[in-house]
Amino acid sequence: MIQNIDTYLVDVPTIRPHRLSVATMNTQTLVLVKVTCGDGIVGWGEATTIGGLNYGEESPESIKTNIDTYIAPLLVGMEASAVAKAMAKIRKTIQGNRFAKCALETALLDAQARRLNVPLSELLGGRVRDALPVAWTLASGDTTKDIAEAEQMLELRRHRIFKLKIGLRDVAADVAHVLAIKRALGDKASVRVDVNQAWTEGDAVRGIAALEAGGIDLIEQPVKATNVAALARLKQRFDVAIMADEALHGPDDAMALARADAADVYAVKITQSGGLLPALEVATVARLAGIELYGGTMLEGGIGTAATAHVCSTFPTLAWDTELFGPLLLTQEVLREPLVYKDFMLQVPTGPGLGVEIDTDKLHAMRRK
């Protein structure tokens, strides 16, 4: 039986300012959900977002309030091992709230996998890989600093895929910044950009033409999420891969984008999808439509990152790798043992459930009172 559901907000400073076109982050607020079951088993989930309400329509505070006030009372008293029934009830009764639903599904699946003494990936069809290549986002906005940071990551054998956050400056300045970094790194690394919806279609045509000519590998969400027609025209016009991110809020969007032939790649995010199982449905739509996959992040801590790693480990193909670097951007850790990054890869945890353990003393010291 589901006995209790607790939600925590944990404010963690970042290692440096993280500049996106929608927000500059100096602190990340982790939203952590704990489900305690009658048999003593505890499951954890995460519903972290980016920049308060700058990125999406759920904020850390609204996620906590909605779980505590509306969603948890629906679940308490239900059979903890009947995860599908519990989630069906929530999805039928609660509108929207994808991030909250994801955290609860993660926690219930974590608890059930612990109950069965198997890794969570085994409840999702089973893993086909034990390690995932991880990109690093260069988002200081300073070309020299970004080049130095990338060189350091290559030397440490931590990352050889780099994503640049652009869209705050005019197109010419952004293109010059990106291409200077690409020239400095050469063939040692894959360089990609994320515009976070900042460009008009005209901006995108000019910017992508220059980036494609300069050897950039992928362009993420160049135009507004709602402008699917523009995204499709850009995909048809350019050879460089176009990736949908903010336009992708679960399986229905995945289907609509596939029908519109609007993207070469899908950024699969468990929170944006509304849960681990809907994220698998997004991946299935992509596979059937010939669209390639990328494991996306909301800059989560260790719990959400581990959950996404379990999901991505089950994908038959993962052509564009992942960006599951969230914990590396944070100055503090809520896990007893941090996730393992080595040889450019994140090692998918192998223990029961998510395969990570919360340091409850640290959590209670760090949580927002």
* Residues assigned a catalytic role: 165, 323
Q: Strand order in 345-347's β-sheet? A: 131-133, 345-347, 341-342
Q: Which of 221, 229, 230 is nearest to 195 (CA)?
A: 221
> How far is residue 78's CA from residue 107's CA, in Å, rounded to a whole number?
14
| Joined tokens for residue 108 | 């219930």
Residues 6+ apart with CB under 8 A from 283: 266, 268, 293, 311, 315
Q: Which amino acid is at 167?
A: G
Residue 180, class by beta-carbon neighbours within 10 Å (0-12 exposed, 13-18 middle, 19+ buried)?
Answer: middle
Q: What is the Cα–Cα distance from 85 to 87, expressed in whole angstroms?
A: 6
Identify whether the C-beta of residue 220 lies closer than 8 Å to the C-beta of residue 247: no
Pairing assessment for the beta strands 136-138 and 161-165 based on DSSP bridges: parallel
The gap between the terminal CA atoms of the chain, to the nearest Å, is: 28
Contact in structure between 313 and 350 (CB atoms under 8 Å): no
Amino acid type, 278: P
